[in-house]
Amino acid sequence: MNDTINVLDKGYVRLVNVMGSDLTVVNAARVSYAKESKELSERDLNLISFLAREGHTSPFRHAMAQFEVYAPLMVARQWWKYQIGSAHMEGTGDSLDAWNESSRRYVTEEPAFYIPDPDEWRSAPENSKQGSGDPINRDDAYAFTLQLEEYIKKGEGFYSHAIEYGICAEQARLFLPAYGMYVRWYWTASLQSICHFLNQRLEHDAQKEIQEYAKAILTLIESKFPVSIDELIQKNG
């Protein structure tokens, strides 16, 4: 299976590394009784189902996955909340999850930006302060795409001028339009944290852009932990 899935216009998710399997979850639970399974049995499948159903989540934290993600900043900052919240969710007081992001204090590579196609602009929802509604009129949407392209081009020009003048990169980046700018990071998380993210960001009312990234994450790891993911996603989904 391909370990990279393209998302949006320029983004992607790449599965970098995996530690453990469904068997890891089983043996993390069975160690309480000094037992170990060599391969998954029907009894083990029932155990995973029981752990997920009853909220015994610590065994799922012994399996990990590492991803490289390239996404607009508006997606990255939504995603980051799961990094901050993972310690509280897991009840450990600290988190084994990790997040390392590229920084324009050090990197001056050509910036890239997410620019919605005309058919991707969405209206504000009628009965909610967040989320989105139906697509807007295509003629108006085309104008918004052009306006965004123009805005980005102007910001890039100011940024390039500042760099060429000798302004430090950490200040020159202030000229770049922020929310649509692509950033790259490594996300290493426990299976429990990953499934918590998926349960929330695969929902129909999640922001569409982060839904697309959640779908990519699920596709990349569902074959690595098929039993556990099925149980954990069913549990809250």
Q: How does pLDDT run across 169-201, given as a tens digit for each residue?
A: 889 999 999 899 999 999 999 999 999 999 999
Is there a contact between 213 and 86 (Cβ–Cβ < 8 Å)?
A: no
Selecting among 43, 53, 184, 201, the annotated active-site residue is 201
Give every CB contact of residue 132 below 8 A, 6+ residues apart in sequence. 122, 123, 124, 125, 207, 208
Neighbour-count burial of 52, counting CB atoms closer than 10 A to its CB (0-12 exposed, 13-18 middle, 19+ buried): buried
Residues of the chain with pLDDT > 90: what percent?
69
Closest CA to 21 of 2, 39, 5: 39
**pLDDT in the model for residue 233:** 92
Q: How far apart are CA 103 and CA 119, in angstroms?
A: 32
Residue 204 per-residue DSSP state: T
Based on the residue annotation, tell me whether 77 is a catalytic residue of this protein.
no
For the stretch 146-161, pLDDT in tens is 999 999 999 999 999 9
When computed from its CA atoms, the radius of gyration of the chain, rounded to whole angstroms, is 21
* Sole residue written with tokens 């123009």: 150
**pLDDT in the model for residue 121:** 92
Given this structure, which CATH class describes domain 4-106+184-236? Answer: alpha beta
Give every CB contact of residue 9 below 8 A, 6+ residues apart in sequence. 114, 115, 117
Kindly state the average pLDDT of the residues 217-236: 89
Structural domain spans, the chain:
4-106+184-236, 118-175
Distance of CA 227 to the CA centre of its chain: 21
